[in-house]
Amino acid sequence: MRADEPMADALAAAALKRAQTLNKRLKRAREADPDSVHDGRTELRRARTLLDLMGRTVFDPVRTKKLERVLHDVERSLAKVRDSDVMLADIAAYLRDRPEARAGLDELARRLEQRRASAARRSRRVLARSARQALVRDARTLARSPRRPPPNSSPKAAPVLVRHFTHETVWTFYDELRAYDALAPDDADVLHAFRSRGRRMRYALEILAEALPETAPILDELVGLQQDVGSLHDHTVTLRLLHKWRARKVHDTPELRAYAQHHEQSCAVLWAQCRARYALLLGRAFRERIATALEVEVPAAA
């Protein structure tokens, strides 16, 4: 979206385009192959951020929040499928280097396949054609009804253009990230929530990227957060499932214990990286970089 474009028009165009893409991605996600499930969840998160941005600026926040909650429910319906995919891919990679461990992990892999199949059946019901069409219809209806500012004959100005909203929007998203300086990064769930908030800021910056051309280094840091904490989250989810299933759903074999130890060692390395990311993004230097980036805007069209 251009800096000198009316915010309502820019967001409406973005919402209509996102609705079309979302429908395609969710249609493919219903087939439940790993890449399509991942792409569907990513598209849902981007759409939710766009709705959040719409509600913060020139659209009805009640309506945008309502649709955002619906998309969140759809996203959650794919979560167990995606987690199972990640764990199955991890087992396959682990066994490529340790083929002798296959017999001790076969039962775990079979249980994960069953878990995935059950979750995929549930997600197909959520992603039925009628449900996807309803989502697209609601998004299109919303996009056509921004809150227009009343005619103003006084000398007081009201924010209308994209550039009128960029600074407050970016700082609002960052302040929600910065709120985590009240919590210590010693809990995997805290880090996961911090990552989610950072991802939302990243997606908002990507929406505004054309109007804020110098934010690419900020985006790089947020992508790094997503990658590091995402990896830690994957290992943590696997360890929790192993702890739950050992001696209950799967036999506690030496190979299974070695596999759990592999994840524990990976977590130990990632914790240090994630704490460093946490400190960096909450630090003064990062805020100064945001402030500097926001001062460079694309000039208004002549």
How far, in Å, CA of 248 to CA of 226, rounded? Answer: 33
pLDDT digits (tens, 9 = 90+) for 271-283: 999 999 999 999 9
What confidence tier does 154 reach under pLDDT thresholds 50, 70, 90?
low
User: What pLDDT is attached to residue 155?
Assistant: 64
Token code pair at residue 137: 């219809």
Neighbours of 66 (CB within 10 A): 14
Residue of 3, 282, 11 whose CA lies nearest to 146: 11
Q: What is the mean pLDDT of residues 11-30?
A: 94
User: What pLDDT is attached to residue 153?
Assistant: 57
- pLDDT score of 180 more than 50: yes
> By the 8 A CB rule, do 207 and 57 touch?
no
End-to-end CA distance of the chain: 17
What confidence tier does 286 reach under pLDDT thresholds 50, 70, 90?
very high
Q: What is the CA radius of gyration of the chain?
A: 22
Alpha-helical segments (H) within the chain: 7-29, 34-56, 61-77, 79-97, 102-126, 129-143, 166-178, 188-207, 216-245, 254-281, 284-294
- pLDDT score of 161 more than 90: yes
As a whole number, the mean pLDDT across the chain is: 92
User: What pLDDT is attached to residue 151?
Assistant: 63
pLDDT digits (tens, 9 = 90+) for 23-51: 999 999 999 899 999 999 999 999 999 99
Percent of the chain with pLDDT over 70: 95
What confidence tier does 147 reach under pLDDT thresholds 50, 70, 90?
confident
What confidence tier does 301 reach under pLDDT thresholds 50, 70, 90?
low
Domain boundaries, the chain: 1-146, 164-302
User: What pLDDT is attached to residue 150?
Assistant: 61
Phi, psi (rounded to 5 degrees) for 283: -90, 165
Q: What is the mean pLDDT of residues 143-161?
A: 76
What confidence tier does 302 reach under pLDDT thresholds 50, 70, 90?
very low
Query: 1-146 maps to which CATH number?
Result: 1.40.20.10
Q: What is the mean pLDDT of residues 95-110?
A: 94
**pTM for this one?**
0.91
- pLDDT score of 220 more than 60: yes
Burial letters for 79-101: b for 16+ Cβ neighbours within 10 Å, e otherwise? Answer: ebbbbbbbbbebbeebbeeeeeb
